[in-house]
Structure 1
C-alpha cells in the first residue's frame, strides 16, 4: 500500500507548513505535524509528496478547447483563457487537468510564485510529485453543496463544480457570495458542512437555523482541522498538478539515467564512427555509379548517334529489333505507347508503375502517386505531343497516396 505525505504550505510564510500522511484510500497514517518545511522533509522519506498551496494564489477554471493531446492543450490554454485574466499571460503558468469531452479544467498561477514555492521546498530537501491548490481537496458530491469551515474561511463546492475559497464572517456570507445549490429552484436542497472545533463554536447556531429550509443538513466535526480531509480529497481524486511543462518533475527514469550517461556517450561515439564509415563508403559507390553512367552514355551515343538517352537497354533492343526486321506491326503501337509512357514517368520520380495491360489498341496503366495532382501531371505529359489521348479512369486514396488508373488511346495505342 503506497503512502503519500500531504504538505499544506502556510498562506503567510511558505517556509512553514502543516502535514499529514495518508494511504491510497485517503486514510490517515499517524498524527498530523506542523512546523518548518525541514521537519516535514523527515516525514517525506519513503513516501510520495503532494504539496497544497494557498487557494487564493491559484485560479481554477474550465474552458472549451477543440484540441487533443497534453502538449497541444498546454500550448492552447494561455490563449483560450487570455480574456478571463487581467494579468500578463507571459508572467503566468498554466496547467491542465483531465479533459471531459472538449471541456478542459485548468489552473493558473503566477510563475514567480510557483518558482518561490519550489525553491523553499528544494531548500528543505523536499521533491514533490504533485503541487496543487488546497481547494482541490474540497469534497464533491452530486446534488450537494459542500462547505469546509474554519473561523474565517469557507472552502465551498457546489455538486462536482469548481471549488471556491471565501473569506467569511458568517454563514450568510457563504450563502451570499459562494456557489449556490446544484439544483433548480424548488427542488430538495442538501448541505454538508465540515467544521473545525473553532468553526463549530462560531457557526453551529447559524447552520442549525438553516435546517428548516433544507432537505438534509449534515454537520461533521473535524477535530484535527481541515488538513486530513483535504489530504483525503487530493489523494483519492485527480487534482490539477501545477508541475507541468517546464516544471514537470523528474521521473524515476531521469534518476536511473544519470549513472549511464558515460556509457551512452561512448555508444553515441561508436554510432557516429559507423555512420561516418558508411557515409564514406556511400560516397565511393556514388562515384563508381557516376563513372558507370558515363560509360553507358558513351556506348549509347556510339550505338545510336544523336538519340536522346532515356532507357538505354530498351532503346537499343528496339533499334536492334527494327534492324533485324523482327518488330511485329501489331506490337509496334504497344512499343510506341510504352516509350511515351516511359518518357512521362521518367520525369516523375515519386510515381510508381504497379501494372499495365494492352488490349485492342488500348493501354491501361495502374499507378501509385502521392496525390491526384501528380496523376494529372502524368496524364498531361503523355498527351503533350498530341499522338495519344490519356484519361484518368480511377483515383482512390491508399494510405499516404493515391492509386490511379490511366488509359491511353490514339495513334498506335
Structure 2
C-alpha cells in the first residue's frame, strides 16, 4: 500500500509538479520504501498500488465532543451544530466528519474546509488516481495518549516548520508549531484543574515549554520517541475509523464501491469456475455414453437388418416387428384354409359356393349331392390332426344339399 502526505501549501504550487512525501508498506506493516516525488512519478512507479492519503495538520482540526445520540444519521445531522461554538467560520464552508467514540465515551470529529477538499480532489483526479481513505495526520496518534496529563514530543513528520506532537487522554492529538507551543500549552493547562496539570516531555526542556514560572505544573521527562512506521500502521486498517471521504467526497475521491466486494467477487468467480468445470466434465461423460449407445444401436441394427439404412432405428425396428406379426398371422390363417380345402377337394360332387377365413377359423358354404357326402366330408375333416369342424347348418333342395361348416384348430 502507498501512503502519501499532502503538502501544506497546495494552492501555491502547480499541481503537475506538486511534491508529496510517500511511504510504501507491506501488508504486515513493514516499511518497503519512502521518499518524495510527484503523484505523476508515483503513478508511473507504482501503477497497481492501493493509495491512501494523509491530510496535513495545518488543514484539519480535530475535536472531541459529548454526543448522546447513537445513530449514525443523527450524529451526522447534529455534528455541525455541536461544533458551531468552537468554529469561527461559516458552517457552509466546512466539511464536518464524525469519527469513532474514544475510551472516555466522547465522539471524535474532524473539520476541514471544503475548498481544501476540492483542491485535493482535483489533485488526485488530474492523475486519475482514486484514494481509498483520506486521514487527518494527527489521528494516526490517537492510541498514543498517556494515562493523565499531556505528552509532548517532537513531530517525526516532514513539515515546513518544526512541530510538536501533543497527546492527552481527554483530547484528540494535535500537531503544533514549536513557535506557538508555549502559548498553546499555557492556554491548555489553564483550562485544566490543578491536579491534572501534568506534562511529560521528550526532546523539550521545561524552559523550552515555558513552564519555568509554573510551579503548579508537574513536569517530567519521557524517554519515548515517535516512530513513523508504527503510526503508519493505522492506515492499513480495512476501514480507518476517521476518514474525510464522507458525503459527496466519498464517491468522488474514494475507491469505487465494488472494490470492497473484491473478495466476494473472487469467491464467486472461483465458485463459477468450479461449477463450469463440473458441468463440462459431466457433459463429456454424457457425450461419451451417448456415443457408446449410438455405436451399440448401430451394431444391433446392422446385424438385424443388414440390407437397411439406419434412419430412425426405433421406428424401423417397430415396423419390422409389426410386419412379422402380420406375416405370421397370415401364414397361420393360410395353412388352416389349405388343410380345409384339401379335404373338400377329395370329396366327389362337392363344390364351394363361398367361404370366409380368419387366422383362427374358416367358414365354408358347400353344395353337395346328398347328406351322405356331407357326413363323409365331415368325417374327413375330423380325421385331420389338429382340426375341429362344426356344422353350422344344412338344407336339402332339388339340386342337392347346401351346408355351412366352420373349421378351426383343435385345442391341445
TM-score by length of 2: 0.48
- Structure 1 or 2, whichever has the larger Rg, is 2
